[in-house]
């Protein structure tokens, strides 16, 4: 049977649109609700209690629609509050971005040396090290906080050949490569836009997008559960986008993440 209920996706901002793009690319017929909690971005500067409150409010909003699954498209929120969401909504399949990417890295590294680039907040949680070691206890994980990458991506400085982003990436990645990593996890939902530039600079690296890994995990689960939407045409699917602040200001930035695949505009809503 076809299940045309929505997939709910949320992030503290709109970086989680890279997860939406990965879902659209792999499951073009799925209907999607996206919520960006732009009134409280970034979550990484908040306490665990506050992050958990925001995350549960985000899911409550998504649950006002008929959703069949939810994706926590925020590394910090995933690290801090995923289990709380599962406890609050035991009937709802909950997907994150950390575990799928970590598992893929643990299973595909050939020399056991994995690098992870992420925001300061995600690095501090230690979530990636824990997850990778769950699947490969012998792996050596090197974390690198990359605070300059998000603002550069949001300003469109992510394309191959852009000297600014290439210099910054080499500053962050050269030390990891010198340590012998053969696998690199893009541990922030902004970073998949850097995939092409990174693979151009370091063609020998196995580069893993947390957004693509999350979408692949969801696709496998929906197939297993028999809850895929049999409609396979992106043009026929429905996508709704919401933010908690400044809807007019995000449309242009959203197209940086999704281009013509956005398929909708943002509405501002109050979420309690």
Within this chain, do residues 194 and 108 fall inside the same structural domain, yes or no?
yes
Q: How big is the CA angle at 82 (ends 72 and 77), to the nearest 5 degrees?
A: 55
Q: Residue 107: which pLDDT band, with cuts at 50, 70 and 90?
A: very high
d(C-alpha 115, C-alpha 119), whole Å: 13
**74 among known catalytic residues:** yes
d(C-alpha 218, C-alpha 55), whole Å: 20
For the chain, what percent of residues have pLDDT higher than 90? 77
Within this chain, do residues 102 and 206 fall inside the same structural domain, yes or no?
yes
Q: Looking at 74, 121, 184, 185, which residue is catalytic?
A: 74
Report whether pLDDT(121) > 90.
Answer: no
Q: Looking at 27, 33, 152, 188, which residue is catalytic?
A: 188
Within this chain, do residues 222 and 139 fall inside the same structural domain, yes or no?
no
For residues 46 and 272, the model is more confident at 46
Within this chain, do residues 87 and 103 fall inside the same structural domain, yes or no?
no
Residue 190 pLDDT: 92
Q: Residue 211: which pLDDT band, with cuts at 50, 70 and 90?
A: very high
Within this chain, do residues 48 and 108 fall inside the same structural domain, yes or no?
no
Residue 1 pLDDT: 59
Within this chain, do residues 148 and 163 fall inside the same structural domain, yes or no?
yes
Structure pTM?
Answer: 0.91
Within this chain, do residues 142 and 89 fall inside the same structural domain, yes or no?
no
> Which tokens is 128 given?
């990636």
Within this chain, do residues 127 and 188 fall inside the same structural domain, yes or no?
yes
Within this chain, do residues 183 and 245 fall inside the same structural domain, yes or no?
no
Average pLDDT over residues 138-147: 96
Average pLDDT along the chain = 93
- Number of independent structural domains in the chain: 2
Answer yes or no: are the C-beta atoms of 149 and 194 closer than 8 Å: yes
Average pLDDT over residues 95-122: 96
Look up the CATH number of the domain holding residue 256. Answer: 3.40.50.1860
Q: Write down which residue in 188, 210, 232 finishes a domain.
A: 210
Within this chain, do residues 168 and 122 fall inside the same structural domain, yes or no?
yes
Within this chain, do residues 204 and 217 fall inside the same structural domain, yes or no?
no
Work out the number of other CB atoms within 10 angstroms of the CB of residue 110: 8
Q: Write down which residue in 166, 191, 210 finishes a domain.
A: 210
Indicate whether 200 belongs to any domain. yes
Residue in the block written with tokens 């902004």: 190
Q: Residue 64: which pLDDT band, with cuts at 50, 70 and 90?
A: very high
**Between helices 210-225 and 98-108, what is the axis angle to 10°?**
100
**Domain span including residue 187:** 98-210
Indicate whether 170 belongs to any domain. yes
Indicate whether 16 belongs to any domain. yes
Residue 160 pLDDT: 94
Report whether pLDDT(142) > 80.
Answer: yes
Within this chain, do residues 53 and 187 fall inside the same structural domain, yes or no?
no
Residues with Cβ < 8 Å from 223, sequence gap 6 or more?
Answer: none
Indicate whether 65 belongs to any domain. yes
Average pLDDT over residues 215-225: 93
DSSP codes of every residue in 98-139: HHHHHHHHHHH-SSSEEEEEE-HHHHHHTHHHHHHHHH-TT-
Q: Write down which residue in 210, 231, 258 finishes a domain.
A: 210
Average pLDDT over residues 54-66: 97
Work out the number of other CB atoms within 10 angstroms of the CB of residue 88: 16
Supply the DSSP symbol for 182.
Answer: S
Indicate whether 71 belongs to any domain. yes
Indicate whether 45 belongs to any domain. yes
Q: Which H or E run includes 174?
A: helix 163-178
Residue 235 pLDDT: 62
d(C-alpha 84, C-alpha 58), whole Å: 13
d(C-alpha 98, C-alpha 76), whole Å: 9
Burial of residue 203, with CB atoms counted within 10 A of its CB: 0-12 exposed, 13-18 middle, 19 or more buried: exposed
Indicate whether 1 belongs to any domain. no
**146 among known catalytic residues:** no
């Amino acid at each position: 049977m076809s299940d045309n209920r929505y997939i709910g996706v949320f992030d503290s901002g709109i970086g989680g649109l890279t997860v939406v793009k990965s879902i659209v690319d792999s499951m073009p017929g799925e209907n999607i609700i996206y919520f960006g909690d732009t009134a409280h971005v970034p979550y990484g500067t908040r306490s665990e209690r506050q992050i958990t409150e925001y995350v549960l409010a985000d899911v409550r909003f998504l649950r006002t629609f008929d959703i069949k699954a939810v994706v926590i498209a925020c590394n910090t929120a995933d690290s801090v509050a995923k289990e709380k969401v599962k406890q609050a909504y035991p009937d709802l399949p909950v997907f994150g971005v950390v575990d799928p990417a970590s598992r893929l890295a643990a299973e595909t590294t050939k020399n056991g040396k994995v690098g992870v680039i992420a925001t300061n907040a995600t690095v501090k949680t230690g979530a990636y090290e824990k997850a990778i070691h769950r699947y490969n206890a012998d792996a050596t994980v090197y974390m690198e906080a990359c605070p300059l990458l998000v603002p550069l991506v949001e300003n469109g400085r992510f394309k191959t050949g852009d000297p600014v982003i290439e210099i910054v990436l080499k500053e962050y990645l050269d030390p990891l490569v010198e340590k012998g990593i053969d696998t690199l996890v893009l541990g922030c939902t902004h970073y998949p836009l850097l995939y092409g530039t990174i693979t151009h600079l370091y063609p020998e690296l196995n580069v893993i997008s947390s957004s693509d890994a999350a979408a692949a995990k969801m696709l496998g689960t929906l197939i297993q559960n028999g809850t895929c939407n049999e409609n396979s045409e992106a043009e026929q699917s429905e996508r709704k986008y919401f933010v908690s602040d400044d809807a007019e200001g995000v449309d242009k930035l959203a197209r940086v993440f999704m281009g013509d695949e956005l398929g909708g505009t943002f509405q501002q809503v109050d979420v309690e």
